[in-house]
Structure 1
Amino acid sequence: MEYMYESCAGLDVHQNNVVACVLYGPLTSTRPKKEEKRFDTTTSGLNALKEWLSSFDCQVVAMESTGVYWKPIWHVLQADFQLILANPRKIKAIPGHKTDKKDAEWIAKLMRIDLIPASFVPEETIQDLRDLTRSRKSLVESCNKEKNKIHKILQTAGIKMTTYIEDIFGASGRNLLEMLINGEILTEETIAANVYTSLKKKIPQLVDALNGFVRSHHRFMLEQEYDMILAYEKTIKNMEERIDQVLENYQEEVAVLDELPGIDRKAAAVIIAEIGTDMTQFPSVEHLASWAGLCPGNNESSGKRKSTHITKGNAYLKKVLCQAAFAASRSKNTKFKAHFYRIKQNRGTQKAVVATAHSLLKTIYTLLSTKQHYQEFGEDYDKKKNVLEAS
């Protein structure tokens, strides 16, 4: 077994403290010296950890990605040491007597022989953008839950707005909701003054649909849910403004991604937040696809190929790419549309979406690596490519 570092450290990270183990000695030594110490995770404690590690001339420091507890440690140490963030699933210790010191020592031992695969940790600006896009996603989902609650309350009160209004949270729908909440009398005249466009032709039907049995209880519940929706929408708007400010540093990359079928500015923000703009972080496009969870599984034994289900990967990136793939399948005269329907014909819609998302990710990797703009080759691209390869 070859030793790669004369001095390395493993950190077992917790909320209140971090246990550090340093292994140091000549590369030829099979029994390196060991030092262990526990530090608080306050700023002063982490600065003491940095000084302690520096006293051993540590070449590399490895730690597990434990929740968000690793982030302040990374922030304090990143300027002075080569840092490795490890997936806990990939460095699981041999079963036995488990203690914090043993965990830290195990990480250090694996690091000394270079057996810890490094997780992707982007620069801080990208980390900030990732926090923003993920928070926006959570807020949108929470807002949609409140909207569903309003649908439920309306149905309970015998209000059938959704029969005639496709989106009750559009301008007309909101006006009618506010009238219900305020207990206003709903007549053809009052409704006509608060609805727009084609809904003016449905006023008699709307009067009938709004004639339910709304009690003060329903009005109270509607008011609470509606206020929460307005609060969520205000927060989402503030979040999107902040995202736009951060994206000013990546206008060129956003413009390139926005050219791809199915990808708009919001999707581009999520993609940049999850994979960054420096593709050298990933050894190859295949590695990126595997990291994103868009590669078919490779499970073969005795010459038989077993399950090819995709892995979990990065759920945020996978979701936005699958949404973009489905949108691209509805675009006109694009290679992604042709690719989608070719896979769908043989293997179904779900696998076609994943395969098209995989193709989109490969294109994104190429464009960000080469700093080129997207060029569309049309729906017959695959046929032309096969002809060229055959010749």
Structure 2
Amino acid sequence: MEVFIERCAGLDVHSETIVACVITGNHEEELVKVTESFPTLTKDLFRLLKWLEDYEVTHIAMESTGIYWKPVFNVLEGFFDITLANAQRIKNVPGRKTDVSDAEWIAKLLRHGLIERSFVPPVEIRELRDLTRLRKKWIGHLTSEKNRIQKVLESSNVKLSTVISDVFGVSGKKLLEKLVEQGYVDPNDVESCIHRSMSAKKQLITDSLFGTINEHQRFLIKQSWVHIQQLEELISEIEKRIDGLLENYKEELTILLTIPGIKKDSAANIIAEIGVDMTQFPTSQHLASWAGVSPGNHESAGKRRSSRTTKGNPHIKSTMCEVAWAVSRCRNRWLAAKYWPLASRRGKKKALVAISHRMLRIIYSMLINKECYKEPQLS
């Protein structure tokens, strides 16, 4: 086979050890293979860097195994051309599974140009990605704590949620604070806590707060309430940091906000997951496949079998499905007009994935051409 890289290395990365195999030479007759193992401590990673430089290695390949590749990538980034490979696509021949043979196999595949490079965004995008994913986690915890409080309130027959649409809104929070402090809420306290628009429901709100809440239930609510306040502070700090990182991507953020259904948080998630340099993906179809919103391709003996979507990036997929659901509720929108016929034929879940696929390809075109969204005419 044709040799594309004369000086390359394959790394088999584990939590405690790294097996590195260097292959040099252009022809099989002058081929040189050197293999060595290194611990994963930071000083040993720099020793690995020096060892690779001594052999004048130019290209490196390694599997994207868990999170173990990240410290290795951080140390070697900037010194070599690093290819991060999907472990499923570079499996060794069955029956020859050792760390040394795996490292040599990765080096051989890289040498002949047989490894497809995985998308690794630049440092700024990786930092933004960490923040947006952490924000999503904290919001999930925040929702769990709110549901936990609601469960305790229902257990004590406090029916506030049947009267107020948002128990954790401005008025609802004031009433809950009084309830946690005193164990009950006076009619006068209700009047001072609720918004003017709720004054007509004052008596109904007062009656809904009369329950069988005891000291144990007050303690449970207070614990969740303190946790909610802490989570809201953490989320606020994260959002400030996200806003600071988004200052470098104002143009792309403005472009994404022109798409119906996309707000600032969704736009930040999209930038964090796919980046702003669309040249990383050869076509919009590649981006959609990487995100896991493309139909599967399974054909055998001329028969097309399952078209189930392949596994992709779950974070961008969930964001795009949320955006697709939001745009489906928009009136007089082209994307919404595409959604409802699909939903009636194939079901809402499949329709959401289909609209996500279409929107992601639109985003690819917009970012690569630096153009805002233009609403197509409804036919």
Global fold match (TM > 0.5): yes
Report the equivalent of 1:386.
none
Contact residue 336 and residue 379 of structure 1 kept, 8 A: no
| Aligned-partner residue type, residue 6 of structure 1 | E
Q: Is the partner of 1:310 in helix, strand or coil?
A: coil
Report the equivalent of 2:288.
289
Q: Structure 1 residues 306, 97: closer, same or farther in 2, change over 3 A?
A: closer
| Aligned-partner residue type, residue 349 of structure 1 | K
Q: Is the partner of 2:249 in helix, strand or coil?
A: helix
Report the equivalent of 1:352.
351
* 1:67-92 alpha-carbon deviations (Å, 9 max, x no partner): 22212211221212110001111112
CA distance in 2, matches of 1:23, 1:60: 10
Report the equivalent of 1:17.
17
| Aligned-partner residue type, residue 306 of structure 1 | R
Contact residue 183 and residue 213 of structure 2 kept, 8 A: no
Report the equivalent of 2:132.
133
CA distance in 1, matches of 2:253, 2:221: 39
Contact residue 184 and residue 210 of structure 2 kept, 8 A: no
The alpha-carbon deviation at position 288 of structure 1 amounts to 0.6
* 1:216-270 alpha-carbon deviations (Å, 9 max, x no partner): 1111111000100110111001000100000000000000000001111111111
| Aligned-partner residue type, residue 85 of structure 1 | L
Contact residue 333 and residue 378 of structure 1 kept, 8 A: no
The alpha-carbon deviation at position 30 of structure 1 amounts to 6.6
CA distance in 2, matches of 1:30, 1:122: 38
Residue range with higher mean Cα deviation, 240-249 or 202-211: 202-211
Report the equivalent of 1:148.
147
Map 1:1-391; keep pairs closer than 5 Å.
1-26=1-26, 28-29=27-28, 32-96=31-95, 98-380=97-379
| Aligned-partner residue type, residue 156 of structure 1 | S
Residue-pair matches, total: 379
Unmatched 5+ stretches in structure 2: none
Sequence identity, in percent?
A: 45
Q: Is the partner of 2:9 in helix, strand or coil?
A: strand
| Aligned-partner residue type, residue 209 of structure 1 | S
The alpha-carbon deviation at position 286 of structure 1 amounts to 0.7
Q: Is the partner of 2:185 in helix, strand or coil?
A: coil
Q: Is the partner of 2:93 in helix, strand or coil?
A: coil
CA distance in 2, matches of 1:186, 1:243: 39
CA distance in 2, matches of 1:99, 1:276: 36
CA distance in 1, matches of 2:278, 2:312: 17
The alpha-carbon deviation at position 185 of structure 1 amounts to 4.1
CA distance in 2, matches of 1:30, 1:166: 77
Instruction: Please give the root-mean-square deviation of Cα atoms over the aligned residues, in Å.
Output: 1.6
| Aligned-partner residue type, residue 216 of structure 2 | H
Contact residue 129 and residue 269 of structure 2 kept, 8 A: yes
Contact residue 184 and residue 209 of structure 2 kept, 8 A: no
Unmatched 5+ stretches in structure 1: 381-391
The alpha-carbon deviation at position 97 of structure 1 amounts to 5.1
| Aligned-partner residue type, residue 131 of structure 1 | D
Report the equivalent of 1:383.
none
Moved over 4 A (4+): none
The alpha-carbon deviation at position 31 of structure 1 amounts to 7.8
| Aligned-partner residue type, residue 17 of structure 1 | T
Q: Is the partner of 1:182 in helix, strand or coil?
A: helix
CA distance in 2, matches of 1:323, 1:197: 33
CA distance in 2, matches of 1:235, 1:379: 44
Residue range with higher mean Cα deviation, 194-203 or 115-124: 194-203
Q: Is the partner of 1:193 in helix, strand or coil?
A: helix
| Aligned-partner residue type, residue 199 of structure 2 | K
CA distance in 1, matches of 2:307, 2:341: 19
Residue range with higher mean Cα deviation, 265-274 or 108-117: 108-117
The alpha-carbon deviation at position 14 of structure 1 amounts to 2.1
CA distance in 2, matches of 1:30, 1:209: 86
